[in-house]
Amino acid sequence: MKKYFLLCSLFSFNYIYADEISSAIDLYHKGDFFQAKDTIEKSQKKNSPKYWYYRGVIYHKLFKTEILSDNADSFFKEAVNSYHEVEKLKNKQFSSYAKKNLNELFKFLMQRGNAYVKMENYPDALIFFLRANELEKENAETLRNIAIVYQKLGDNKKALQVFKNQKSDSILFACNQVKFLIKEKKNKQALNLIKKLIYEHPYNVACIEAFYLYLTKQNKSSRKKLCEDLLSKEEKIKKYQQAVLAKLQGDFKSAYETFSLLLQEDKDDRILIQLCDVGYCYSQQLIKISNDDIEDEDKYETACDVLDDTILLTEKLLKKYSDNVEILEHLYKLYIQNKKQDQAANIKSRLKRLGAEYLCEE
């Protein structure tokens, strides 16, 4: 009888606390987030990934709905801490949900920060970028945004410290550092970093873009010498780098032709990605020319051919990188330009799914 009583008590105890989690979830779905928080905090099932996951979801929502309140910072910290507790418990299903929500929270912070930058509200933008940096400390875009906001606030010393103090191996981070050094007119430091980047990452577009930005600040004779000194001595790589520079200069015809020839010689995805990108730009340029001069039918026909070829190449690329947002966005623009509305709608729904806030279903 005593054993039976103990079993019943244990069952009731677990049921009560499991029920508190379920009640909190119901309150969450009804939009009563504060009551959901109070209810889930009563649960003693703190060894459960389900508890920590839904605790994170609730605080996550509280942070997003109360971002202007005094409690926003504590809501943010509690959400992040809860998601990290889920990861510690090694439950594959809930860990996956927690990771997706952390990614969504990071995107939200970056979007809010960028929105405040557009409104020229730099103090609030800084708050959101610093929070984003807490989630992904090595993210090059976040660090660049923090540096830019410090600069907008008139604190160039802090802006430069962001780059000096951060020991990031990110190529994009280093390229952003180059851009900032150029803006600060620290040309010697910028050039030394560019030389290192171009030598170590000859195919990287961000590195070539940083080099191009430096070139635009030089006179014509200096540009020619810099290209001779810094571009690769290997012919194939040099052509690739020159084609990227041509694209950046707006010479899409030259870039398109060079990338097309390179792709025939070498089926490298890096070349294919560039060809897809420049193909869209080139077709747009040709269409604009043909619209300006309605008698130039050849230009319009060439534009259609370039557009069709670029769509086929981008579709081929998407088969290999099915969840790549950049490729999906690119294909969406191509379908819109080619008046393929059904295909465009399909891509749009895929993009929406990839960017949507993720909440685990019961």
Could you tell me which CATH number the domain at 11-136 has?
1.25.40
Domain ranges of the chain: 11-136, 253-362
pLDDT attached to residue 20: 79
CB 241 within 8 A of CB 202: yes
Q: Where is average pLDDT lowest: 48-57, 194-203, 292-301, 347-356?
A: 292-301
CA distances from 183 to 85, 148, 152, 164, 186 (A): 42, 11, 13, 16, 8
Could you tell me which CATH number the domain at 253-362 has?
1.25.40
Q: Where is average pLDDT lowest: 114-123, 137-146, 215-224?
A: 137-146
**Residue 4 pLDDT level (bands cut at 50, 70, 90):** very low
pLDDT attached to residue 299: 73
Q: Is the pLDDT confidence value at 123 over 70?
A: yes
| pTM score of the predicted model | 0.60
CB 134 within 8 A of CB 102: no
Percent residues over pLDDT 70 in the chain: 88
**Residue 18 pLDDT level (bands cut at 50, 70, 90):** low
Percent residues over pLDDT 90 in the chain: 32
